[in-house]
Chain A
Amino acid sequence: MIGRSGGARDRILRRVGAATAARERRPHPGALAGDGPDDVVAAFADRFRRSGGEVVAAGMGWRGGELLRWLRDQVPEVTAVATAPDLPGELRPDLPEVAAREAGAGVSVGWGGVAETGSLILPSTGGRAVQLLPPLHIVWISADRIFARLEHALLSLAADLPAAAGLHSGPSKSADIGRTVVTGVHGPGRCVAFVRGALRSPAATE
């Protein structure tokens, strides 16, 4: 499909070109200096929790069974889940599968995490409805996929960009009514990161 421009494209680019030609060009300052945290798993957990997210420190050996136990314990009312198409079978909890809009919980796998911002990176190939519609969103992520800085994570993601990616850094919130914070406005009201391999890092355990 060809975009509409009716000559506007060339007109705009010409005007932009004339404006920039008349001005001294400014250099790019290069990368923003900074190191990011040392213990990335602990820093991620801390940031994510401070934004209202929850972190479960999981062992490398954790599978769907452990997740099912957690669900039974924490949210017994959840009887059916929606899972991401790219979720490995072994990480599925053994519960009936339903459409995302009806599920009590969505389960996906994170492409990676970011320590400095406390973010989970979720590619669109994981199914966006699962990431957004259920009131509870559970994200498996492995500890060695957590980047210290957002810049490193995005550069790595850029090597093979999906059509879209979401950065989730805690549950959905709004303070638009009377300046009171409410959660779960549109997206998930609870967001839980199951960090596999985090059990080795004592600071990340609850």
Chain B
Amino acid sequence: MRIEIGDYGARARQVIREDPQVREAVTGATLAFDAKRRRSYDEIDSDAWRRWAEAVKSHALTHLDRYLAEAEARLIENGAVVHWAADAGEARQIVMELAAENGVRRVVKGKSMVTEEIDLNPALEGAGIEIFETDLGEYILQLLDEPPSHILGPAIHRTLEQVRELFAERLETPPDGNPDTLARAARKVLRDAFLSAEMGITGGNFLVAETGTVALIENEGNIRLTTSLPRIHVAIVGIEKLLPRMSDLAGFLQLTSRAATGQPIGCFVSLIQGPAARPGDDGPKEVHVVLVDNGRTDVLAHEHAWEALRCVRCGACLNVCPVYRQTGGHAYGWVYSGPIGSVLDPGLLGLREAMPLPFASSLCGACFDACPVRIPIPELLLEWRREAQEEGLTPWRERAALTTLAQMATRPGLYRLAGRIGSRLGGSALGRALPMLGDWARERALPKPSERSFRELWREGIE
């Protein structure tokens, strides 16, 4: 996916002003997701679960070399093939070669953020391979030629009317088709694809070191089909997805589902150890696991940002985020959006590339309370802001304003004087000319200063 983060402010404004349906659809969907998540957290001792999950992931990340080696050994024992890719290019190359060697002409895919991250689809299409995104939301986006706007509900920014129109044109469904009719039409196309594709490609929610298990959670059954019917299954997995043991997986399957959709567990979970070997098993003859770095070791080495690698991509922080709700994911300009995108993108891409995302937050803190692995997102945002300041990546005018504030605030006489002048300026034409006030006034009426400051009232005596 092209990186267009730099335009965040302009894109956000554009979505809000010119495509108000997006704000409405995204707000509605995320409020519903979030309400389910809250109810589901209330059913368990969510505090204890979240602390446990945080500790397991932190343990796994601080022993990651050991667990990666262990997972690799188990997978090989199970008959799977393990590949390693340092960056997006290498990951694409591995999949392309596998496809070429096996004469693959059709690929079915399960929803996977990492395949967006490595730009897999355009590469495969360039080689003349037909790709079917099989998650219903992803399928809609594939027809629209749009990237996902939410980790979990990739098409939540699209309304029923828009899907109706799209399907009427592309799948010849009736113009007033209900969701059931529309889903059936997609199912028909995709069922044929499942039965004829030579390769299935998925991501992986977790990789269990102890058993070499790639675990995937979903609701539609398309991932079960993708990993079961084609002759070859390729799972593309970020190296941070490791869990030490099967018993850990049991907790993570549940907590991730609760955080994501409020379910005790997703309707379908696939646990994949390797290719079909025993009698009766009609599954794939080859299973490939591609372990992808693509910036993750940089994040792991970062003093603070490594905590973001605990992320299980549940989307809970997006759903609860009042900033994300106004625009959906596209404004953020890359694969990962919302609160997690704003702390992960600077780590994966480099801070310069990810500006101004660390500033795209009011620091309200709602994301931390929702996050199942307790990633301190507000603190990480502040860390990135500090780095941005140190590297001079913020506008000069802001830096100057804050330096002036500090100078005045530490000199009581100057502060009192500036306060008197400043608040008088507030409503005047001159005040409007001050740059910061100008930005404020584009969206809001200017504040009305008190007639007399508290300081003055105090001196006169408060009755």
- A residues with CB within 8 A of B: 1-6, 8-9, 11-13, 15-20, 22-29, 31-33, 47, 51, 84-86, 101, 116-119, 124-129, 131-132, 149-151, 153-155, 157-158, 161-180, 182, 184-188
We find that the number of chain B residues with CB closer than 8 angstroms to chain A is: 104
Give 6 nearest A-B pairs by CB, closest first: A187-B221, A178-B160, A176-B137, A151-B250, A85-B280, A29-B55
Q: Classify the secondary structure of A's interface with B.
A: loop
The reply to whether B268 and A161 contact each other, CB–CB distance below 8 Å, is no
- Residue among B51, B249, B269 facing the most chain A CB atoms (10 A cut-off): B269
The reply to whether A185 and B275 contact each other, CB–CB distance below 8 Å, is no
Task: Among A17, A162, A176, point to the contact of B153 (Cβ < 8 A).
Answer: A176
Q: Report the bound CA distance from A187 to B251 in whole Å.
A: 25
In the complex, chain B residues whose CB is within 8 Å of the CB of A158: 210-211, 246
Q: Report the bound CA distance from A164 to B271 in whole Å.
A: 5
The reply to whether B293 and A28 contact each other, CB–CB distance below 8 Å, is no
CB distance from A122 to the nearest CB of B (A): 10
Task: Among B52, B155, B263, B275, point to the contact of A163 (Cβ < 8 A).
Answer: B275
- B residues with CB within 8 A of A: 28-29, 32, 48-49, 51-52, 55-56, 58-59, 61-65, 68-69, 78-79, 81-86, 90, 93-94, 97, 134-137, 140, 153-156, 159-160, 163, 178-180, 182-183, 186-187, 190-191, 194-195, 210-211, 213, 219-222, 224-225, 227-229, 239, 244, 246-247, 249-251, 253-254, 263-283, 286-288, 291, 293, 297, 300-301, 306
- Other than the known A9-B84, A164-B228, what 18 A-B pairs have Cβ atoms closer than 8 Å? A3-B288, A11-B86, A24-B62, A28-B244, A29-B59, A84-B280, A117-B265, A132-B225, A163-B283, A164-B281, A165-B270, A169-B268, A179-B156, A185-B136, A185-B222, A186-B221, A186-B222, A187-B221
Given A101-B195, A128-B228, A158-B211, verify A19-B301 contact (CB < 8 Å): yes
- Residue among A23, A125, A164, A167 facing the most chain B CB atoms (10 A cut-off): A164
A-B contact count (CB 8 A): 278
The reply to whether B276 and A124 contact each other, CB–CB distance below 8 Å, is yes
The reply to whether B277 and A177 contact each other, CB–CB distance below 8 Å, is no
The reply to whether A174 and B293 contact each other, CB–CB distance below 8 Å, is no
Q: Report the bound CA distance from A175 to B221 in whole Å.
A: 13
Task: Among A8, A25, A153, point to the contact of B90 (Cβ < 8 A).
Answer: A8
In the complex, chain A residues whose CB is within 8 Å of the CB of B222: 185-187
Can you name the residue of chain A whose Cβ is closest to the Cβ of B217? A167
Task: Among B55, B187, B266, point to the contact of A186 (Cβ < 8 A).
Answer: B187
Can you name the residue of chain B whose Cβ is closest to the Cβ of A6? B90
The reply to whether A1 and B81 contact each other, CB–CB distance below 8 Å, is yes
Task: Among B191, B211, B221, point to the contact of A188 (Cβ < 8 A).
Answer: B221
In the complex, chain A residues whose CB is within 8 Å of the CB of B195: 101
